Amino acid sequence: MVATSTEYGAPARTGPNSWAVTVVAMTLFVAALIAVMAAAAVQSRGRAIRDAERATQDTARLLEAQMTYVLDVAATILAVEAALADEADLSRDEARADMSRDLKALIRDKPYVFRAFVADVSGRVIAGSLEPLPRLDVSARPYFRRHLLGETGPVLTTGVQSQASGEPLMILSRRVDRAGVPAGVIIVSFNLDVLRDVFASLAPSEFGAVFQLISADMEILVDVSPPPDQRGGILRGEDARALIEGKTVRLGAQDGEERIWANRRVGDKPLYVRVGTSMPVVISGWKEDLAAYGLGGGIAVVALVMLAGFVMVYGRREEAAVRALRNLNAALESRVADRTAELERLMAEQRVSLAEKDVLFKEIHHRVKNNLQVVASMVRFSSAKVRDPDARTVFAEIARRIRAIGLVHQTIYEQEAAARVALEPYLERLAESEGDVYGAAERGIAIEVCAFGDLDLNNAVSVGLIVSELISNSLKHAFPDGRTGTITVDVRRFDGRCSIMVADDGVGMRDGARDGTGLGIIRAVATQLDAVLTITTDGGTRVEMSFAL
């Protein structure tokens, strides 16, 4: 038995067997620390990949929203020009010149729109945004034949080359009718090389990002990636299945590099966007972070190994060993503090990055709102050329509905959330706008709004259109001959559903009003939402609707 003794104020002295126990304990501790560090490294790798997947999905959603916006603007141009062409005599040179001026004005300041043309029923181009107008014939184009066979459109066509320059194009077209008979086709084209430049401006090059625009035939129309350029290639197998199903997957690319692919369909169009993030780049970034954070742990392991050696060599000099351990712990704490500060700096940079993304989303909504205001102004401008009062009323209704949609994006721009619309400020502003249009305050008509909750962008646009139409109908028809009254709007979100109620205490719905354009729009939106719609006309008019979110 080894005896030990302790003097007051002096460290305890241990025997040789205690040193061996201490060495074994330290060895086990070092092994456990290495195991913990290895487990943490594996977990951090998984987090890095998940973060890359989320970033790739967010980028794909942003790209989808951009393409949806581009196609929606083009569809609006087609609708406006089709309405004007329906009233114009396209056989007259003056009418063709007016159409050319309108097309030039509509695509101005829209770099993503390449050209716009109007072709007559024979396929000959008779008006367009180019000056002088080239001699073009689109009668052999598949979309032209589809329109002549009865399809109104808009029709999206890919895989087209410009007759004038040979550049690769994507076409959005719509038929023009006169008295129910096809009178021609309006065409808006997009230069795929220009779209590629737009996508390239969005691509974060430090992550080796790949942006692709793909047709319904799985052909790569636009490719923004490191060489080789994959444009014109065809997706097959698992790539095609993941694209159609909208999945986020890890697959190899034609350049042999594994990527995280996020796939999105562009609205209801036969078009897809595909965003890829390089796995080697993600893993390289993870390794750099791992090396930085592993340095402190490595120093700790080395320190403990050295300490174990000190115990073996200088077992009887416990006091010196304790001082060395304290010094090493101080150095370790200093390095941990440095690494903690570095981590806080990185987290601060991430918060700044997230804030920049929020600003980007708000800026997108701000620009959409501004562009919708431009469209509404163009509609009003176009209506000034129309002499028929009924046609002018239709143009005014179109402009009012565009303003209602624009209020959604303005509300998102003014609030904190980037993808949700708060119902109360949006509907109050919408009611105020409708009241100003129809002079509600001067007529003694009050509009009371009660709204709770928030909705995503698509549902908010649908609810806004419904409420706008119902308030407009009440202001136009419910209070004739100077009658005063109240319009009540109540919209609530609860238990996974949204309920809408708009009521007035006016004269009630007259015979034949149920077949009007406003209620036709309401029924169409209700069908799209799979909503339950009821209309009551006892002592005024009350419209109720409920749909699942």
CA-CA distance, 144 to 140, in Å (whole number)?
7
Residues 267 and 369 in one domain: no
| 331 and 441 both lie in a single domain | no
Of 274, 293, 315, the residue at which a domain comes to its end is 315
What is the C-alpha separation between 128 and 87, in angstroms, rounded?
18
User: What is the residue whose two structure tokens read 């007051």?
Assistant: 8
Q: What is the pLDDT of residues 102-125, one digit of tens each?
A: 888 888 888 778 889 999 999 999
Examine the domain organization and report whether 72 and 173 are in the same domain: yes
The pLDDT confidence band at residue 162, using thresholds 50, 70 and 90, is: confident
**pLDDT higher than threshold 50 for residue 3:** no
In a domain? residue 250:
yes
Domain total in the chain: 3
Residue 8 counted as domain residue? no
| Max intra-chain CA distance, the chain | 120
Own/partner contacts of 30-33, CB < 8 Å, gap of 24 or more, are 30/301, 30/304, 30/305, 30/308, 33/297, 33/300, 33/301, 33/304
Q: Does one domain contain both 337 and 291?
A: no
Two tokens, residue 53? 């997947």
One-letter amino acid for residue 398 of the chain: I
Instruction: Give the pairing of strands 125-128 and 115-120.
Output: antiparallel
How many residues in total does the chain contain? 549
Dihedrals phi, psi of 223, to nearest 5 degrees: -135, 120
Coil vs helix vs strand at 224: strand
Position 174 in a domain: yes
pLDDT digits (tens, 9 = 90+) for 246-279: 888 888 776 677 888 899 999 888 999 989 888 8
What does the alpha-carbon distance between residue 510 and residue 249 come to, in Å, rounded to a whole number? 57
Structural domain contains residue 225: yes
Pair (148, 256) in one structural domain: yes
414 lies in the same domain as 509 = no
198-207, 245-254, 353-362: which is most confident: 245-254
Question: Cα–chain-centroid distance for residue 133?
Answer: 37
Residue 269 corresponds to which tokens in the numbers above?
Answer: 């169009």
pLDDT at 15 over 50: no
Q: What pLDDT does 504 receive? A: 95
Using CA atoms, how far apart are residues 290 and 45, in angstroms rounded to an integer?
9
247, 219: one domain: yes
Same domain, 197 and 332: no
Residue 426, domain CATH = 3.30.565.10
Last residue of a domain, one of 366, 387, 418: 418
Same domain, 93 and 172: yes
Q: In the chain, pLDDT over 90 holds for what percent of residues? A: 23
The arithmetic mean of pLDDT across residues 129-140, rounded, is: 89
Question: Rounded distance, CA 493 to CA 481, Å?
Answer: 37
| Alpha carbons 437 and 82: distance in angstroms, whole number | 26
DSSP string covering 250-268: EEE-TTS-EEEEEEEE-TT
Does 515 share its domain with 439? yes
Q: What is the mean pLDDT of residues 120-144?
A: 90
Q: Is the pLDDT of residue 385 over 60?
A: yes
- Cα 349 from Cα 343, distance rounded (Å): 10
User: Does 350 reside within a domain?
Assistant: yes
**pTM, full prediction:** 0.48
Q: Which residues pair with 131 in a beta bridge?
A: none
* Mean pLDDT computed over 235-247: 89
Q: Which residue has 């330290």 as its token pair?
A: 26
Helices and strands in the chain: count of H runs, count of E runs: 11, 17
Q: Is the omega angle on the peptide bond into residue 154 within 30 degrees of 0, that is, cis?
A: yes
State how beta strands 445-451 and 485-494 pair. parallel
> Is there a contact between 477 and 506 (Cβ–Cβ < 8 Å)?
yes
* pLDDT at residue 485, as a whole number: 95
CA distances, 109 to each of 106, 172, 371, 375, 378 (Å): 8, 18, 11, 13, 14
Residue 5 within any structural domain of the chain = no
- pLDDT range class, residue 511, cuts 50, 70, 90: low
Q: Are residues 197 and 221 in the same domain?
A: yes
411, 364: one domain: yes
Question: Is the pLDDT at 10 greater than 50, yes or no?
Answer: no
Looking up tokens 């981590």 gives 343
Q: What is the CA radius of gyration of the chain?
A: 34
Token duo for residue 380: 């009003």
Q: Which range in 43-57, 73-87, 135-149, 409-423 is most confidently predicted, on average pLDDT?
A: 135-149
Domain extent, residue 359, equals 317-418
Tell which residue, 406, 469, 473, has the closest CA to residue 445: 473
Q: Look at residues 249, 284, 315 and tell me which one is the last residue of a structural domain.
A: 315
Residue 7 belongs to some domain of the structure: no
Considering only residues 99 and 397, tell me which one the structure prediction assigns the higher pLDDT. Answer: 99
Q: How many CB atoms lie within 10 A of CB 39?
A: 10
Exposed/middle/buried for residue 201 (C-beta within 10 Å: 0-12, 13-18, 19+): exposed
Contact predicate 412/362, CB 8 Å: yes
Please name the residue that has the structure tokens 């690319």: 253
- Domain of 187, CATH number, reads 3.30.450.20
- What is the number of other CB atoms lying within 10 angstroms of the CB of residue 519? 19
The answer to whether residue 167 sits within a structural domain is yes
